[in-house]
Chains A and B, each alone.
Chain A
């Protein structure tokens, strides 16, 4: 049972345009959400997070939006750059499990120059 789903395996975007990566979750106990970026042959690196008490968090070119009623979050990258090409993982943390993250399967983003 996948509790965190990234339904788009891949996304291709032109440089300078907006990239929107989507993530859905099923467990209403999740209260903290994160995005990680992974380059080939490297471990995932933390990108941005959002608490369930917020609906938006912004950090430079990266913005994460959370819609709790829809159990949906998205990552917006504006403007997209070729260096953003990577695999992006959505992750969620259940309230009662302090150190466990549940990951989605990832979305491959390709930014074309």
Chain B
């Protein structure tokens, strides 16, 4: 299984500011995924980050609000821009299992970054 580390684990932010979340994986992976879990709700995929190409965003999420970097095969960042209280969520980085994982679903998750926007 992959070991995924996220920074920060939690933060309290002021409205209108931006925060960058870092995700480090202990092995090289092609695709990294960023999820959001708003309070009391399910995990929702924000975007898929591929190394060497632009991230692919899901409906309802845009690059200006959630810019993503993927400089190499073990690292990615997600920025939450111009934050408002509605952005208060847990943001999770995830990767697929290894090449032996033929099914789509076995994702490994980081511990999450809990953001509170005042």
Contacts and interface: CB of A to CB of B under 8 A. Distances in A.
B53 interface: no
B76 interface: no
B63 interface: no
Interface stretch (A62-70, A75-83, A91-99): A91-99
Nearest to A49: B105
B82 interface: no
A29 B109 CA distance: 25
B104 A103 contact: no
Interface residues of A, number: 25
Contacts of A42: 111-112
Q: Which of B40, B94, B103, B107 has the largest number of chain A CB atoms within 10 A?
A: B107
A89 B104 contact: no
Interface of A: 2, 4, 32-34, 41-46, 49, 51, 89, 91, 93, 98-106
Interface of B: 4, 9, 31, 33, 40-45, 48, 58, 92, 94, 96, 103-112
Given A89-B42, A101-B104, 20 more contacts: A32-B104, A34-B106, A41-B112, A42-B111, A43-B108, A44-B43, A44-B92, A45-B109, A46-B105, A46-B106, A49-B103, A51-B103, A89-B43, A93-B104, A93-B105, A99-B31, A99-B33, A100-B104, A101-B105, A105-B41
